[in-house]
Amino acid sequence: MFAGMFAPTATSLMGLGGVAHASSKKLSPFTFAVLTDAHLYDIPDHKFDAILEKAVADVNGIMPPPDLVLYAGDLGQSGKEAELVKGKRILDKLKMPYKIIPGEHDYYLDMGKAWRGLFGDEYWSIDHKGSHIIGMNSILVKDFWSMRNLTPLERMGYMEELECHQCGLWGVHEKQLDWL
């Protein structure tokens, strides 16, 4: 059974969850924190930097500390490597392990190259205290850019829109199901 509170806001970026028990197998209770959607810019000392720094400090101050942190995407705003590097530098201040998946704002400028260079595989699974936790890239869309000869910057511009009507639906599709 999973129990938790997930209410990230523009000032917190944080949710807390815990695993209490499972009826089909032995499960050791544990807690985890969820951080998401920092949308960092490649601008020194941007106000979003301070929000993520505070969220990391808040997680580090939880007693007892969570076993791990899950970061649910959109660390950067425009997919620039500098944004992701800044975000990694901040997340690396966590006192517990963290796992991260990409968001569309992290991915579409270079199709995840910088993200993978910093964080590794965009699909992962771990076992923790009897629970199997899966993280995967769930923001893949069909190629809408090649036929239109869009540049990477133009493609990213579409993906940065609040509601990208050109992009199509993202979610779990063939590639992710094949991996699962």
Tens of pLDDT along 120-151? 999 999 999 988 999 999 999 989 999 999 99
Query: Distance between CA 42 and CA 69 in Å, rounded?
Result: 24
pLDDT mean over 16-31? 64
Task: Provide the pLDDT confidence category of residue 10 given band limits of 50, 70 and 90.
Answer: very low
* Contacting residues for 169 by C-beta, under 8 A, at least 6 apart: 141
* pTM (two decimals): 0.85
Q: What is the mean pLDDT of the chain?
A: 87
pLDDT at residue 62, rounded to an integer:
94
Q: Say if residue 68's pLDDT is above 60.
A: yes
Check whether 159 has a pLDDT greater than 50: yes
Q: What is the signed CA dihedral for 144, 169, 159, 104, rounded to 10 degrees?
A: -120
